[in-house]
Amino acid sequence: MTSHFFFRNWRETANSFAHFSSHFRSGFLALCVVLIPLGAHAADTPASLRAEAKTFLASCSGLHGAALGFCRADHNNFVMDYECAFSGSYWSEKNVADDLSWRTHPGIQSVDLLSCAWATVVVATNGLATSADVHAIASDCSHMNHPARRAAVLKARLIAARIAAFRATPGARSVCP
């Protein structure tokens, strides 16, 4: 399986967090190195991923004109990006992390823990990640307390495992950029 590759990338990711406190770095490394059960998850399908993505959409009611149009566009783009992120699309993973962060669009609910987890997935599992992606982790995760950051790391591992499983399923990959 890919666990050796996965853990090696997590160590490299952890080493790039030099600006974080030593307490967080040591906790992050300990969580990444220790084998943590990933738990069972039903097989993802494009339809199930679209349905899951829709749970993060905020209501557009009360918006008018251009704001309503932007909200609806945010909904459509987020659902597409969420599905494509599980196909391993670098840009879609980045978009999902950004969309779920506290600083984004009103059409998407802000979920700090998931934003941090997706930002971590981008850096840990993607060969296209840059220093800007590492800074995104700092932006999305640094305001969280230690238990929340630990939970985000665990969630990132679950997301990475789901991405690997989805990509390995014949016929499940969607056409994504």
Residues 70-89 as b/e (b if ≥16 CB within 10 A, e otherwise) read ebeebbebbbbbbbbbbbbb
Domain boundaries, the chain: 45-168
Residue 53 banded pLDDT, cuts 50, 70, 90: very high
pLDDT tens readout for residues 101-147: 876 677 899 899 999 999 999 999 888 888 999 998 888 898 899 99
Residue 152 banded pLDDT, cuts 50, 70, 90: very high
pLDDT tens readout for residues 69-106: 999 999 999 999 999 999 889 999 999 999 998 766 77
